[in-house]
Amino acid sequence: MSCEHNHEEMLPEFAKVGQKVPAFTMEAFDPSEGGFCEVDLGALREKGKWAILFFYPADFTFVCPTELADLAAKHAELDKLGAEVISVSTDTKFTHLAWKTDERMLADVKYKMAADPTGEVSRFFDVWDYDTGLALRGTFIINPDGLLVSSEVNFYNVGRNGDELARKMEANNYLKDHPAEACPAKWAPGDKTLTPSEKLVGKVYEALND
């Protein structure tokens, strides 16, 4: 993307669920390596990886470290599902490094912490708050084909749930290989799915309780 980001193609105005997200890069801090790196969505796509972008308002704040710690607790599980976890805020990669070093709640964070200081990526995913210049709490799941399959946005004062993110990732991962099916509410691996057809109309109870 522009400035500290590099374009691979021009971005449309906003990301929309069900549409393809253009490949782009962001600078990042990599806690697992202890240095700076680049997040490249195009390279992840070529490897057949999912991408989870986890936007949050700012480093050195209050709800944010609880969310990143919760995400860290699910990181290994999400990684096994083929997902690259990337946190994103409008802070610089240098601030990410300092925060990771100082904040004990981030001790287990190993996923890359991407920098969006111009707010361009935040604006594309429609989490940019023009009044504050910060990103709202947005979570986006992009499948290996580059399609945005899940979007969640919270205001500043409500933290997210890593268990629900893992559940949604499991469901989307299952549906990638079973596109004719659909996952009902609270679906978890091993639960029944639905196969939409004219025979299912008005018969969902029977399909789930046979």
pLDDT digits (tens, 9 = 90+) for 63-99: 999 999 999 999 999 999 999 999 999 999 999 999 9
Tell me the residue range of the domain where 34 lies.
Answer: 25-177
Q: What angle is formed at CA 175 by the lines to CA 181 and CA 173, rounded to 5 degrees?
A: 160
Same domain, residue pair 29 and 117: yes
pLDDT of 137: 98
Same domain, residue pair 76 and 35: yes
Same domain, residue pair 62 and 116: yes
Same domain, residue pair 157 and 60: yes
pLDDT of 4: 39
Strand duo 50-55 + 83-89: pairing: parallel
Q: Active-site residue 3, yes or no?
A: no
pLDDT of 132: 95
- CATH number of the domain bearing residue 88: 3.40.30.10
Evaluate whether residue 9 is within a structural domain.
Answer: no
Same domain, residue pair 145 and 205: no
pLDDT of 201: 98
Distance, C-alpha 95 to centroid of its chain: 21
Number of domains making up the chain:
2
Same domain, residue pair 103 and 47: yes
pLDDT of 33: 96
pLDDT of 59: 98
Evaluate whether residue 6 is within a structural domain.
Answer: no
149: its two tokens: 């399959």
pLDDT of 12: 60
Q: Is the pTM for the entire model greater than 0.85?
A: yes
CA dist 116 and 118 (Å) reads: 6
Q: 3, 37, 64, 183: which one is catalytic?
A: 64
CA dist 76 and 65 (Å) reads: 18
Evaluate whether residue 64 is within a structural domain.
Answer: yes
Evaluate whether residue 13 is within a structural domain.
Answer: no
CA-nearest of 133, 54, 63 to 105 is 63
Same domain, residue pair 126 and 170: yes
Evaluate whether residue 187 is within a structural domain.
Answer: yes
Per-residue pLDDT of the chain (210 residues; tens, 9 = 90+): 433 344 344 456 899 999 999 999 999 999 999 999 999 999 999 999 999 999 999 999 999 999 999 999 999 999 999 999 999 999 999 999 999 999 999 999 999 999 999 999 999 999 999 999 999 999 999 999 999 999 999 999 999 999 999 999 999 999 999 999 999 999 999 999 999 999 999 999 999 998
